[in-house]
């Protein structure tokens, strides 16, 4: 079971990454309820640029519905969504523990001096940059937003083909040439490519999901 002995609501941009998050939690023995915010990536991108009030109202409704259905915590399995909404405010307002990828980025920032970051779009990169630089003002980030990678993953294209058509092999070589010490997977879709990417780079691939699960498990003990 998850925090407070209840299921965790999994919120993400689309049904695909919401399902990925729920599968991840269930693999760690945590009950999960899928609560996608949008139907597909471009609709999610449009949601992210709505007004703060519009986003908060939509998310408030999703979270309240999840609580009514028995959820005792929320797991935000979407970097761009986490960076474009105020989940700490919703957590306080609803009295609901909420874990987001932003909770993990401070740990990465304090462990390195120069990091590469790949994410879905600029909204995600802005949130990641803010979280990391707050944790380590001396950190140097080399960012890249690649919406086409997420769209290809949603379409079920094979990892090696996604790497080829999006020139990710050239991108990781660029990051290496800049002296980056690791590559942050700043989109919850991107672990789909982890094993294939390891054939093109020796950089450590950092996935915030592992730290998020640890935080959610800690909540279950409090």
pLDDT tens string for the chain (222 positions)? 444 458 999 999 899 999 999 999 999 999 999 999 999 988 988 998 899 999 999 999 999 999 999 999 999 999 888 888 999 999 999 999 999 998 889 889 999 999 999 999 888 899 899 999 999 999 999 999 999 999 999 999 999 999 999 999 999 999 999 999 999 999 888 999 999 999 999 999 999 988 899 988 887 665
Please give the Cα distance from 113 to 100 (Å, whole number): 23
Please give the Cα distance from 111 to 126 (Å, whole number): 20
How many C-beta neighbours within 10 Å does residue 138 have? 8
Residue bearing tokens 């691939």: 205
Q: Is the pTM of this model over 0.85?
A: no
Specify the 3-state DSSP secondary structure of 158: coil
Domains of the chain (ranges; CATH) run: 3-100+210-220 (3.40.50.1860), 103-208 (3.40.50.1860)
């Amino acid at each position: 079971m998850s925090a407070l002995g209840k299921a965790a609501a999994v919120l993400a941009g689309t049904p695909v990454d919401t399902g990925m998050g729920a599968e991840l939690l269930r693999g760690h023995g945590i009950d999960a309820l899928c609560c996608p915010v949008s139907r597909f990536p471009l609709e999610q991108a449009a949601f992210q640029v709505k007004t703060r009030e519009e986003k908060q109202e939509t998310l408030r409704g999703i979270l309240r519905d999840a609580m009514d259905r028995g959820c005792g915590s929320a797991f935000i399995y979407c970097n761009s969504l986490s960076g474009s909404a105020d989940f700490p405010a919703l957590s306080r307002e609803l009295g609901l523990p909420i874990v987001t990828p932003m909770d993990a980025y401070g740990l990465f920032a304090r462990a390195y001096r120069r990091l590469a970051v790949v994410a879905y779009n600029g909204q995600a990169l802005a949130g990641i940059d803010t979280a990391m630089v707050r944790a380590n003002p001396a950190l140097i980030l080399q960012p890249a937003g690649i919406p086409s990678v997420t769209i290809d993953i949603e379409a079920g294209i094979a990892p090696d083909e996604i790497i080829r058509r999006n020139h990710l092999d050239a991108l990781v070589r660029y990051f290496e040439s800049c002296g980056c010490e690791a590559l942050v997977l700043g989109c919850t879709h991107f672990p789909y490519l982890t094993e294939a990417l390891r054939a093109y780079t020796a950089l450590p691939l950092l996935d915030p999901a592992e730290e998020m699960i640890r935080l959610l498990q800690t909540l279950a003990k409090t």
